[in-house]
Structure 1
Amino acid sequence: MAIQKGDFIKLNYTGKFEDGRIFDTTDEELAKKEDIFNPRGLYGGDVVIVGANHTIEGLDEDLEGKEVGYNGSVVIPPEKAFGLSDPKLVETLSITKLKDRNVHPGFPVEIDGRRGVVSRVIGRRVTVDFNSPLAGKTVTYEYTIENVLETEVEKIQGLLALYTGLRDMEVETVDGVAKIYIPTGLTFNQRWLMAKNRVASELFKYADLKEVQFIEKITAESETQVPAEAEPEADLKAEPETEESSEPEV
């Protein structure tokens, strides 16, 4: 059966630049080999909802119509990947604005809470590019559609993993009501506090639930089960709407 909008699918992928460099993958061994391994990330595949902006536009569009088990690739231009570079985000500043003044092109900096990369240094003036490192890039995604999730519990756990970075959270569903047991460490996580309404909204829309209950669960092991800042998986996403926006980060 062909994949369609609203399907919850498990997706494995590897993202590459035009020169073949890998910038993102769900393959843990490959991530380690390419020196892009994130110890707080989840590997082994992402669960995404097709058509829900959980992935960049070009990949999301390519998923539709494919079958479970499909293995292929898609080349995605910047406007359907991570966006075009904005010239307004390239600024020339006095070097006195930088904490570390021994900079060079390619040097990462943070100024007034904004992260950028030095692109040029002339005397005491530096040009800093505040665009995303992925902006303006044509990328290729090689991907495999592993399966379509069918049960309510699978869908909920998959969506929770996407937004929290935690797999197999305890979930119960009865007559369209979902009870999601939240570890106490996650309860105080700012990312989660911003994301949970989004999670509920997507479950109402795509999983046909009528009520979602978030129940704080405290156990003797709670403090060691949840990282202080759980992160959503996969840079393939279009930044999960959990902090400034609420839309998933592939």
Structure 2
Amino acid sequence: MSDNEQAEAAEDAEAEAEDAGTEEATEEVTEGIQDGDFVKIAYTIRTADDGQVIDTTDEEIAEDAEIDTEEYEFEPRTIAIGAGHIFGTVEDELIGAEVGEEGVIDIPAEEAFGEYDPEEVETVAADKIPEDDRYPGAQIQIDQRQGRLETIIGGRARVDFNHPLAGEDLEYEYEILEVIEDREEKAKGLLGMHLQEEPEVRIETETVEEENEEGELEEVEQESLYIEATPQMQMNQQWMFQKQQVAQDLMDRLDLDRVVIEEVIDGGGMGGMGGMMGGMGGMGGGEADLEEALEEADVDAEELVEEIDEE
């Protein structure tokens, strides 16, 4: 074999080795949890310096930390990798991980809630603060900024607008429990991250008519996510203001055509009125029933019935 042939053979072998290495590296990257996956995870977040629990999915840990266990539900959460539901440092660690893995991830302050900024401590006029909140330690809002009242003297108040955990390094203890494949479970988990509750949902395939490029109507199938809005959701300001954004997030991540929100109103204090109006609408109960209903409503029944008969 000539020197040129040997050189060419060596180059070919090197190229094959590089290709094999690239394929192996690609396989390694695509193994385990990936961007876009939905993962059920149990976790506890603590401050690194003193171990203060700031968030957890474990009720016993919450009780030990004297967190109000009646106000919140403590159970594993479903998160969408790449959706910004968790700290970026944690997402990076979870990429490529497998179900069953657990560990502790260190999160530096600048990647958690930011470094503490002394310039975020400002003096403001005391009359900007409601009288009931004029005491040291009160959480207040001024000009749409959240802060903590440090001191108040006369007509001036010192307010710290830093996040309460600014400057704190954190420890994120976790266990990966499951990769969620069911799309309805994914939808519930995504809603849970936005709303702190998981309403009932269902995905339905429906046939609808749409106009094609030629302007003709044709039947196409589309998938709709139906969300049964709970009373808590209907009172949730975040849901009220971000409903469109949440719906778009659901459609993008779950490859849906539309989101339908069903608001259910249960019978309650207006039940009697509802029954009365139902009878009036159909008139199937006859004049006697109508007169009885109108008497209960303190209306002159005879006069109204005569007007109806004349019509």
Task: Name the Cα RMSD after superposition.
Answer: 2.8
Structure 2 counterpart of 1:29, which letter?
A: E
- Residues 87, 38 of structure 1: CA spacing in aligned structure 2 closer, same or farther, 3 A cutoff? farther
Distance in 1, matches of 2:69 and 2:237, equals 20
Does 2:178 align with 1:131? no
Q: Which residue of 2 aligns with 1:214?
A: 261
Q: Which residue of 1 aligns with 2:35?
A: 5
Does 2:199 align with 1:199? no
Rg comparison, structure with higher value: 2
Distance in 2, matches of 1:190 and 1:15, equals 26
Does 2:197 align with 1:152? no
Distance in 2, matches of 1:118 and 1:58, equals 31
Structure 2: tracts of 5 or more residues without a match: 1-30, 206-221, 269-311
Distance in 2, matches of 1:4 and 1:28, equals 29
Q: Which residue of 1 aligns with 2:70?
A: 39
Structure 1 residues 73-123: Cα deviation after superposition (integer angstroms, max 9, x where no partner): 10001221112223332113566766479855xx23526365433556899
Is the 8 Å Cα contact of residues 9 and 49 (structure 1) preserved in structure 2? yes
Structure 1 residues 61-83: Cα deviation after superposition (integer angstroms, max 9, x where no partner): 22211111111010001221112
Q: TM-score, normalised by structure 1?
A: 0.75
Residues 1-250 of structure 1: pairs in structure 2 closer than 5 A: 2-18=32-48, 19-93=50-124, 99=131, 107-110=137-140, 112=142, 114-119=145-150, 127-174=158-205, 176-220=223-267
Give the 3-state SS of the residue equivalent to 2:225 in structure 1. Answer: strand
Size of the aligned set, in residue pairs, is 219
Moved beyond 4 Å, runs of 4+: 93-98, 100-104, 118-126
Over the matched positions of the two proteins, sequence identity in percent amounts to 35
Give the 3-state SS of the residue equivalent to 1:92 in structure 2. Answer: strand
Distance in 2, matches of 1:121 and 1:180, equals 47
Q: CA deviation at 1:194?
A: 2.1
Distance in 1, matches of 2:237 and 2:199, equals 21
Q: TM-score, normalised by structure 2?
A: 0.62
- Residues 93, 192 of structure 1: CA spacing in aligned structure 2 closer, same or farther, 3 A cutoff? closer
Is the 8 Å Cα contact of residues 95 and 101 (structure 1) preserved in structure 2? no
Distance in 2, matches of 1:204 and 1:120, equals 47
Distance in 1, matches of 2:248 and 2:128, equals 42
Distance in 1, matches of 2:88 and 2:75, equals 22
**Higher alpha-carbon deviation: 28-37 or 188-197:** 188-197
Distance in 2, matches of 1:122 and 1:185, equals 40
Structure 1: tracts of 5 or more residues without a match: 222-250
- Residues 101, 56 of structure 1: CA spacing in aligned structure 2 closer, same or farther, 3 A cutoff? closer
Distance in 1, matches of 2:242 and 2:151, equals 38
